[in-house]
Structure 1
Amino acid sequence: MKKKTLLLAGLLGFNIAMAQEIKPYGSLPSKAQVAWNDMEYYMFIHFGPNTFTNKEWGHGDEDPKVFNPTHLDARQWARTAKLAGMKGIVITAKHHDGFCLWPSKYSTHTVRESAWKDGKGDVLAELSAACKEYGLKFGVYLSPWDRNHPEYGTATYNQVFANTLNEVLSGYGPVFEQWFDGANGGNIKQPYDWNLFHSVVYKNQPNAVIFSDVGPGCRWVGNENGIAGTTNWSTLNVKGFTPGAGGPPTKSLNEGNEDGEQWIPAECDVSIRPGWFYSPDTNDKVKSISHLLDIYYGSVGRNGNLILNVPVDREGLIHPNDSTRLMELRRVLDATFKNNLAKQAVVTATHTRSNNAAVQVAHLNDGTNSTYWATSDDATTTAITLTYKKPVTFNRLVLQEYIALGQRVKAFSVEILENGKMKEVARETTIGHKRILLLPDYTTTQVRINILDAKAAPVISEVQLYKAPGVLATPEISRDKAGHINITCASADPVIHFTTDGSMPGVKSPVFNKNTQLSLPRGGTVKAKAFLKNGNASDLATAAFDVAPAKWQVIQADAAAKDHEAGAAIDGNKATVYLTDRQATAKYPHEFQVDLGETLSLKGFTYIPATGESLGGIVYGYEFYTSADGKNWGKPVASGQFANIKNSPVQQNVAFKATAARYIRFVAVAPADAAQDWAGIAELGVITR
């Protein structure tokens, strides 16, 4: 009887202990996905014939001999990524033009046919070796779209692409990420066999995370700005969706789906320059520190990973402007996250789970996300409090969930002790792998994080506080229709110095303020920097202008939507937009004619699309005409497609043979979104310089 009692007592104790184990919730990440999320920040490299032809999407008809980097050094790429704090590199092994950066036996459009190293080079071999040397993970981008291969669009092409994949994934060592682009453009459509492609990946690289609009390893964030939603679930509904045009709605890509079918976290892709491939025209357009910080906090700080594109130049090197900016960003991030103030706090929490040795309050500020704290199963609301003996000043709050057990938190708030009372300073939604809040400077002796709602018992791995150094905002330069220049800066009380002669602004350069009269109606370049009294300076802002539209008049345009009149397309303000009337019967093509008011020697035109979910109407196919009299137009001086404009709606610059004209005619031939019959223009400009 005594033995039975002891046995029952032992079983009861065992059951109580088991009852406190944390049950996983919802869709869960694989070990490879957890490791991928921990990487947080890595490099994208776009490199190929487009680097030398100044195109974003090559047509596959370029001479492979155009690819001839004179000083290619993959070790410099890897060294730069390492020094920037990045954890890996993904390279465009094959873009849409079909050019292979390795001597593929399944193509005749490769480095073997190029002038580089007399056809004996292999970019993938050099980069994979460099990544291994510098302790970086290696990844590859292979587009199934191939504008060069003769079998593209036939029943045999899918196997050709599978063979190509197999060649790469079996020949260059471990691959942490396989990047698939769902693009399927041009006049030939190819039904992609994604099941076949995935099987090749997993056969060769079982731990690779596969990127696409629907994963299955990670998902596109829905834009090429590098910004995830303020609410961001790592789970996604995928049934009925495919990569590319058949992908989930933009909102789902950006925010995920609560209780989604599969664990497919967001990867935020963005380029450090306006375009994805190198162009000498963008050497002075590298994103500022303040812009890159916004991207970092909008990606890594919102439960996503950041893949930052740094294009290799025509020498085969990362350009000094890009590498310098990367090092500057690293210094700011290091200074920001150097001193975790949470480690100085006494941490307490309500509803702590008992009888589970893995759950400890001390894990909340131990500086590692491999340990955690949790509530009991019946507590989906709770509070975590950090208390200090002396006041601390902070402006960054970092929270992390233990994602191996699922994403749970739906809403939380942050309070500080002020004048003897708790004051709410933030209220947000999801956390996930990492959430970073940007706050004003707060000085307090107590910080409380309230979990307001959760799908299941919250499991939190980290609470961190930091005091980030101030970063002076980069000035913004604009010009109105008449040609008047305005320069502003978001930071408080800086002194803005500028130049118009191409020189670098310094403290002895002219000062720009509200009384400054600066006008460039015929065009020119303005450079500006902001300075503080302590000597700190902002990044350089550069703006190049052509002829101002002061004399321009719209002489023909399709009916405009309400509040989006045609004149908005030539008012010098890209914040105002011309949209054709969505309710009108007119469909594509849409036509827009302008009288320039004088005869100019035109060398090209510029188009800035209308952006924003409420606008749309982005033009993909175009024709551009010029005329001396507004009656005789002849053939278009330029025609084609704005490559990748739907995903990257930035200013398009199209050059053509110089011609004298007073009238211009822009014809929107095809939409970027087939479901949108209307066209939009934020700004239409000309190139004369």
Structure 2
Amino acid sequence: MKSIKNFLGVAVVFGLLVSCSQISQTRENDETNQVSQTNELAKPLPKQIAFADWEVGAFIHFGLNPFTGQEHGDGKESPSKFNPTELDAEQWVLTAKSLGAKYICLTARHEGGFCLWPSKTTSYTIANSPYKGGKGDIVQEFVDACRKHGLKIGLYHTSSHDTNTGLSWYDGPIGWGPSRDSLMGIAFQDAEFKKRYREVQMAQVRELLTNYGPIDFMWSDHWGAPDTEHVWHPITDLVADLQPNMVFMGPETWVPGNESGHVVYPMWNAVHTLDGTNYTRPAPNKGDVDTENDYGLLEGEVRTGHPLGAYWRVRECPTSSTFHSGGWFWHPGRTRAKELPEHIDLYYRTVGLGANVIINLPPDTRGLIPDDIVAAAKAFGDEIKNRFGNPIAGSDAIPAGNTFELSWEEPTEVNTIVLMEHIANGQKAVRYTLEAFLDREWVELKHANKFPSARPPYNSVPGYETIGHKKIDRVEPVVTNKIRFRSLESVHDLPVELRKMQVFNCEPYMK
């Protein structure tokens, strides 16, 4: 890599930064160029519907980082520092189950490049650590625990961000964000290096998706990042070939533009893409924005989607410091569980607005999730079951149409209505209203959805607009025995297809 080192210099790095910024700013796409000329709506694959039904996931961020204090990993720290003495993958899985998670995702290899399995592609693995005398395979332990306790299996791997493989030639400090990306841009000017880097990434993904049986989900961090198509295009094809039934983040799911558990609303799962194919990120509509994140997130595009979008992407909201403080990885003195009201608010503003939420549960240097986070996970799961386990009334046999009445025998107080759209036939609801039968007439319910933590472009008072997979509407309390859904506007004036409607009376969770 001596030829690469010769490229180094302030002027070159600065020039690359400017170039990357200009490319990012010019990649806006006018959605009108891609709008379908037919009434055909984008529809999710069966595996995307199943993924949306999982709703709550758990994220296990673990690797060298808790032992080094790094969040992203510079690829320089020695594997000898990795030595969790009490690691218990079953504890991770059981904590996730108590959370109510249906799936759990392990950082098999994070951005620093350290592999939690004995990969044949690199020496930067647990095979060169003290863990189990170099004979361990944490991916295998994790997969076995998931199968034993019935959780869907997810693995994290990021092919565009592998600092050990990509920047081992560089002797200086490696920061995150523009600093790291400019150095990678320099490295990729060497065609032979670019090829070798891609081969390592493809070989690692092949190991993960062939050595451990069926995998249900892969979090492909930074999928489609600018100027990384030489990695992501072949990886996307490889994944589809190796595990066609697996949900792959990027072409099948997407993040909402933040790591704090907020989803844009109104929100459409259908999207147009930057180049009109399923290989690139969602394109902006007029009015959509990009946000900056003090954590350095590369996925800061806030996209509302489009009712006539060509591709279906389930939204999944990550939570780096929302369920707990301190970042994705455990850090002593910084990683502490937050309070239950904040956790319930997180649920309402993600699952309650039609998205999945993946909640971080980071193990410490013992290899165990700390006690306070374990307790918080169980409290969250218990509270969600308590709130939504026993509806006052409900129906999942709802004919397509613009109105539906749900009734029950005795009038009772109602303050929450849950709607689910039959998304197998596309997302159709644009505007609707909810009404209660009071004093022999139908009266519109005033919605009481409030999210004080939401800041523009995220909606702090979402009303009656899109439904998608699920919409949880809090309303001003009424005593009734009849609730009516009424569609006011739909895509192409098609009849809205509700999959489910339920009513509840839930305790307030915020003062």
User: Do structure 1's residue 147 and structure 2's residue 163 form an aligned pair?
Assistant: yes
Deviations 1:91-119 (A, max 9, x none): 11111100001011101111111121111
Unaligned runs of 5+ in 1: 1-22, 344-364, 376-381, 474-490, 492-689
Q: Is the 8 A contact 2:271 2:283 kept in 1?
A: no
Give the greater-gyration-radius structure (CA).
1
Match of 1:91 in 2: 106
1:227 matched residue in structure 2: 262
2:366 paired residue number: 315
* Aligned positions, number: 414
| Counterpart pick for 2:317 among 234, 256, 268 | 268
- Asked if the contact 2:272–2:282 (Cα under 8 Å) also holds between the matched residues in 1, the reply is no
Structure 1: how far apart are the matches of 2:403 and 2:47?
Answer: 31
Report deviation, 1:279. Answer: 1.0
Does the 8 A contact of 2:83 with 2:129 survive in 1?
yes
Greater shift after overlay, 112-121 or 244-253? 244-253
CA separation of 1:421/1:178 partners in 2, compared to 1, >3 Å: closer, same or farther?
same
Which consecutive residues of structure 2, in runs of 5 or more, have no partner in the other structure? 1-37, 170-186, 290-300, 448-462
1:373 partner SS? coil
In structure 2, what is the equivalent of residue 100 of structure 1?
115
Contact 2:393/2:407 (<8 A) preserved: no
Shift, 1:244, TM fit: 12
Match of 1:395 in 2: 415
Distance 1:405 1:304 in 2: 18
Whole-angstrom CA distance in 1 between matches of 2:130 and 2:472: 47
Aligned 8 A contact 1:142 1:179 in 2: yes
**Residues 254, 266 of structure 1: 8 Å contact kept:** no
Instruction: Indicate the structure with greater strand content.
Output: 1
Change (3 A) 1:296 1:242: farther
State the shift of 1:372 in Å: 4.4
Matched, 1:116 2:131: yes
| Partners of 1:235 and 1:246 in 2: CA distance | 12
Q: After TM superposition, give the deviation of residue 339 of structure 1 in Å.
A: 1.6
Post-superposition shift, 1:385? 1.9
**In percent, how many aligned pairs have the same letter?**
33
Q: CA 1:405/1:466 → structure 2, altered by over 3 Å: closer, same or farther?
A: same
Match of 1:417, as an amino acid? Answer: F
Q: Could you list the per-position Cα deviations for residues 398-452 of structure 1 after superposition, in whole angstroms to 9, with x for gaps in the alignment?
A: 0011111111111111122334443222351101111111223321232221111
Aligned with 1:74 (options 69, 85, 89): 89
Decide whether the 8 Å contact of 1:25 with 1:408 is kept in 2.
no
1:57 to 64, 72, 78: 72
Q: Give the distance between the partners of 1:270 and 1:24, measured in 2 at CA.
A: 36
- Note the aligned Cα RMSD (angstroms): 2.5
Task: Please say if residues 413 and 452 of structure 1, whose CA atoms lie closer than 8 Å, have aligned partners that are also in contact.
Answer: yes
C-alpha displacement at 1:238, in angstroms? 1.1
- The equivalent of 2:467 in structure 1 is 431
Letter of the 1:178 partner, please give it.
M
Report the CA distance between 1:341 and its aligned residue: 1.4
Q: 1:193: Cα distance to partner?
A: 2.5
Mapped to 2, the partners of 1:244 and 1:66 lie a distance apart of 38
**Aligned-partner Cα distance in 2 for 1:100–1:470:** 44
1:190 Cα deviation after fit: 5.8
Contact 2:110 2:158 in 1 (8 A): yes
Partner Cα separation in structure 2 for residue 245 and residue 201 of structure 1 = 15
Name the CA distance, whole Å, in 1 between partners of 2:205 and 2:404.
48
Match of 2:203 among 148, 153, 163: 163
Residue in structure 2 matched with residue 335 of structure 1 by the alignment: 386
Offset of residue 79 of structure 1: 1.2
Please tell me whether the aligned partners of residues 416 and 473 of structure 2 are also in contact (alpha carbons under 8 angstroms).
Answer: yes
The equivalent residue for 2:235 is: 197
Contact 2:156–2:220 (CA under 8 A) maintained in structure 1 = yes
Shift of 1:286: 1.5
1:175 to 212, 215, 225: 215
Amino acid aligned to 1:182: H
Greater displacement, 49-58 / 102-111:
49-58
Deviation at 1:390, TM superposition (A): 2.3
1:480-525 Cα offsets, whole Å, 9 max, x none, are xxxxxxxxxxx2xxxxxxxxxxxxxxxxxxxxxxxxxxxxxxxxxx
Distance 1:223 1:243 in 2: 22
CA distance in 2: counterparts of 1:280 and 1:39, whole angstroms: 32
User: Following TM superposition, by how much is the alpha carbon of 1:226 offset from its aligned partner in structure 2, in angstroms?
Assistant: 1.3
The one of 41, 46, 49 equivalent to 1:31 is 46
User: Hey, which of these two has a bigger chunk of helix by percent?
Assistant: 2
1:259 counterpart = 2:308: yes
Task: Write out aligned runs for 1:207-606 (5 A).
Answer: 207-211=245-249, 215-240=250-275, 248-249=283-284, 251=289, 253-271=302-320, 272-274=323-325, 275-283=327-335, 285-343=336-394, 365-366=395-396, 372-375=398-401, 382-424=402-444, 425-426=446-447, 427-455=463-491, 456-471=494-509, 473=510, 491=511
Shift of 1:231: 0.8
Letter in structure 1 aligned against 2:308:
D
1:220 Cα deviation from its structure 2 partner: 1.1
Specify the SS of the correspondent of 1:280: coil
Q: CA-to-partner distance for each residue in 1:365-414, whole Å, 9 max, x for gaps?
A: 14xxxx54213xxxxxx222223442111221100111111111111111
TM-score by length of 2: 0.76
Greater RCO, 1 or 2 (C-alpha within 8 Å, sep 6+): 2
Contact 1:228 1:254 in 2 (8 A): no
Aligned partners of 1:289 and 1:160: how far apart in 2?
43
In structure 2, what is the Cα distance between the partners aligned to 1:100 and 1:204?
20
**Deviation for aligned residue 1:197:** 0.1
How far is 1:248 from its partner? 4.1
Contact 1:42–1:87 (CA under 8 A) maintained in structure 2: yes
Asked if the contact 1:372/1:402 (under 8 Å) is kept, the reply is: no
